[in-house]
Amino acid sequence: MTTDKQLAHIQAVSRITWIGLIVNVLLSVAKVAAGIAGNSRAVLADGIHSISDLVTDVALLVGVRFWSAPADDNHPYGHGRLETLITVCIGLILAGAGIGIGWDAISAFRTGETHHSKPVAFFAALASIISKELLYQWTVREGRRLNSSAVVANAWHHRSDALSSIPAALAVAVAMLLPEWAFVDLVGAIIVAVFILHAAWSICFPALEMLTDKTAPAEVMEHLNELVCSVPGVLSVHRLRSRYQGAGLLVDMHIGVDGEITVTEGHAVADAVEKLLLEEGQEVIEVLVHVDPWVHDDGQCREVTE
């Protein structure tokens, strides 16, 4: 059953994505039309890039309802990995758009195909720069607030669109002012492709690391270790491990306790560790604690009286 918190998350992600989708539809139509009417391959390529944004917006709108679903018998850890998979898909779609745009511009270079650009193409690119940068700023802020890697990835998709419009606008301006330099429009299209490929790598690489169960950063693990050692009754902590499940962190460990205490007392210490990490551990959503009798080989969190 979907909780109120999960429902609020779905609604927030959907609201952000719908706004981005509407903006992308308007910009895609405007830039493709302006690129054709204004004889600018760079602006046309930028419009195609905006169309790729529509695909990722739809992926988010559909995907959020799946990755926010509660755990079930077949997925006891929840469905958070779907968010990471969608993040990778966003990056791959972005990479595909970049490769296609670059290949088209290089092919035009080889055939010597150039056109004289018109002002309509320049103004379309300028409008894209302003609107997509504003959309990026808002989306990335909301993505971080919601702790959603997919929303942050989509925000960077918006930013890459804004950045890619800069060389497109400059290329059109140069081509208009210096008609003999019309080939600069093709250079702009290639620069757009490089920007897009860089953004795709920045999105895919961290997500792929999560899919391969990379642990949390060293500073996060050190903080978790300090939290565990701060719990009364914990004499040592070892085999502290973590891995990401979507935006959340799953943590497991062995703790050493006084071997003379009862099982009930040891269990109470483990419960205290779990409660503290869930409350104060960064991104922690689940904790598994194994209790061992403390021995010298385990090291120690604090001075132990023999």
Find, among 43, 21, 4, the residue nearest to 139 by Cα.
21
At 202-211, the pLDDT tens digits run: 878 888 887 7
Average pLDDT, the chain: 79
State the distance between the two ends of the chain, measured CA to CA, in whole angstroms.
50
pTM of the predicted model as reported, rounded to 2 decimal places: 0.62
Taking a C-beta distance cutoff of 8 angstroms, is the pair 258, 252 a contact? no
Residues belonging to the chain: 306
pLDDT of residue 145: 82
At 255-301, the pLDDT tens digits run: 999 888 999 999 999 999 999 998 887 778 889 999 999 877 666 67
At 21-33, the pLDDT tens digits run: 888 788 888 888 8
Taking a C-beta distance cutoff of 8 angstroms, is the pair 278, 270 a contact? no
Greatest mean pLDDT among 136-145, 221-230, 246-255 lies in 221-230
**288 versus 79: which is more confidently predicted?**
288
Classify 301 as helix, strand or coil: coil
* 221 has a pLDDT exceeding 80: yes
Confidence of residue 195 (pLDDT cuts 50, 70, 90): confident
pLDDT of residue 302: 56
